[in-house]
Amino acid sequence: MIDLHTHSLLSDGELLPSELIRRAKVKGYRIIGISDHVDISNIERVAASILKLSEKIEYYQDITVFPGVEITHLPKQLIRETISFARRLGIFYVVVHGETIAEPVEEGTNREAIEGGADILAHPGIITEEDVMRAKEQNVLLEISGRKGHSLSNGHVGQLAKRIGARLIFNTDSHSPSDLVTEEQARKVVRGAGLTADDFYVMQSNAVELVKRVIGKKA
């Protein structure tokens, strides 16, 4: 099980990063990305905190910990520069909080995230065909979400991405221990979106590829 969208109490999650990692390991996770919510007000503090894990990764045995951030509800004009700033801070990967139908996200956020070079566009809602095409061109992963509310548009995202050839990723967007899922539960969410078990394994491969690419750059 690989999940690159989770939250700790560094933002609005319930657990310390170490407890989140431990609980994920017990669920069968091999790789966990911790991507706490940031905007321009807290990104330096959150990045400095989560990057401390990268200095001690060897102690988290049998699970790979991937330090990231999720840029959330930022005015769209600031998204590109904040993605670049996160990378300069040393963050391993960047998620952008997409135009979920469960929250009043500013229209145009999806496009700015894609064109700004985010690694993952989270829960992109009723994303347009044009933006899915852009995501394919920019190699931005589109999320199939396991989170209540955000998951309502999974079917739309999945079917459009498959038709166009954009790459997908499954993430839980966990905020509490009960949000973490087993691989079997993840497959059921994916199948509930009208996709297949094979699609799920492709999503997991896409996640592994992102992790390897970033770790290779950090080496």
Q: What is the pLDDT of residues 84-142, one digit of tens each?
A: 999 999 999 999 999 999 999 999 999 999 999 999 999 999 999 999 999 999 999 99
How would residue 215 be classed by pLDDT, with cut points 50, 70 and 90?
Answer: confident
Q: In what order do the strands lie in the sheet with 93-97?
A: 2-6, 31-38, 64-71, 93-97, 120-122, 141-145, 168-171
- Domains of the chain: total: 1
State how far Cα 9 lies from the chain centre. 17
Does pLDDT of 219 surpass 90? Answer: no
Domain containing 111: what range? Answer: 2-218
Q: What is the pLDDT of residues 42-69, one digit of tens each?
A: 999 999 999 998 888 888 889 999 999 9
pLDDT at 217: 82
| Domain harbouring 76, CATH code | 3.20.20.140
Mean of per-residue pLDDT scores for the chain = 96
Q: What are phi and psi of 113, to 5 degrees?
A: -65, -45
Report the predicted TM-score, pTM, of the whole model to 2 decimal places: 0.97
Q: What are phi and psi of 62, to 5 degrees?
A: 70, 15
